[in-house]
Amino acid sequence: MLQAVCARNHAENISRVLYPNDNFFVGKELRLRQEYFLVAATLQDIIRRFRSNDSHHRSFDEFPNKVAIQLNDTHPSLAIPELLRILVDLEGLEWKKAWDISYHTFAYTNHTILPEALERWPVTLLEHILPRHLEIIYQINAEFLDIVRAKWPNDDDRIRRMSLVEEEGEKRINMAYLCIVGSHTVNGVAAIHSHLLKTQT
C-alpha cells in the first residue's frame, strides 16, 4: 500500500507545482520533466489527430501543410527534438527528411533578449533525463555550425557565439537558439524587439 501511494505521489509531482523553484537541482529537474511532458503529450495528440483525419497511412510529407506549431517562448522548445525523435526513431524517416518536416512545422516568438531570462539547460541534466534529445540537439548544432563555417570561414568567435551549446563554465544548451535554428519563422513580440533579436543575438 505504501509503495503504491509513493508511486502515485511521484507520478503526480509532474503536475503538482507549476514553475518549481529552479535554483536547486530538484526544481530544475522537475521543470525539465514538466516541459518535456507538455511537448510529448501535445505532439502525440497532434500526430493522432493528423493521422485520424484521413488514414493511418497518411504520409508525413503532408505534416507541415496540415500542422503549424507555434513555440511561444522557450518553454516548449523541446518539441523540436521530440518531433525529430518521433520521425526518425519511431516512424523510420531519414534525418534529412525528418529535419525538413520539423523545420517547416515550427515557428518561434521570442519574448526577451535579456541573457539571464533565456532558458539554458545544463548538458548534464539533459544527459540524465533526455539523452536521446541531447543527441538530436548535438546533431542540429553540428549541421547548423557547418552552415555558419561555410558562410564565415575561420571566424571561431562567431561559431562560439552562434553555437547552441555554450561551452564556457557549465556546459549548457541555449534553448532560444534551438528555437531559432529549428523554426521556419522567428519573430519578437514587437517590431523593435524583432530588430534587437536580429542584431544582438
Q: Is the dihedral of CA 49, 138, 150, 168 positive or negative?
A: positive
Q: Which residues of the chain fall short of a pLDDT of 50?
A: none
- pTM here? 0.88
Instruction: Give residue-wise pLDDT tens across range 16-26.
Output: 666 666 777 88
Domains in the chain: boundaries: 60-200
Please count the other Cβ atoms lying within 10 Å of the Cβ belonging to residue 156.
Answer: 9
Question: Which residues partner with 106 through β-bridges?
Answer: 69
Residue 93 pLDDT: 97
The amino acid occupying position 66 is: K
Query: In angstroms, rounded to a whole number, what is the distance separating the alpha carbons of residues 97 and 104?
Result: 11
What is the DSSP secondary-structure string of 43-82?
HHHHHHHHHHTS-TT--GGGHHHH--EEEESSTTTTHHHH
Residue 8 pLDDT: 67
Q: How far is CA 64 from CA 124, 141, 143, 144, 160, in A?
A: 32, 22, 21, 21, 31
Residue 80 pLDDT: 99
Instruction: Give residue-wise pLDDT tens across range 152-188.
Output: 999 999 999 999 999 999 999 999 999 999 999 998 8
- C-beta separation of 99 from 146 below 8 A: no
- C-beta separation of 109 from 179 below 8 A: no
Contacts of 122 (CB under 8 A, 6+ apart): 28, 170, 171, 172
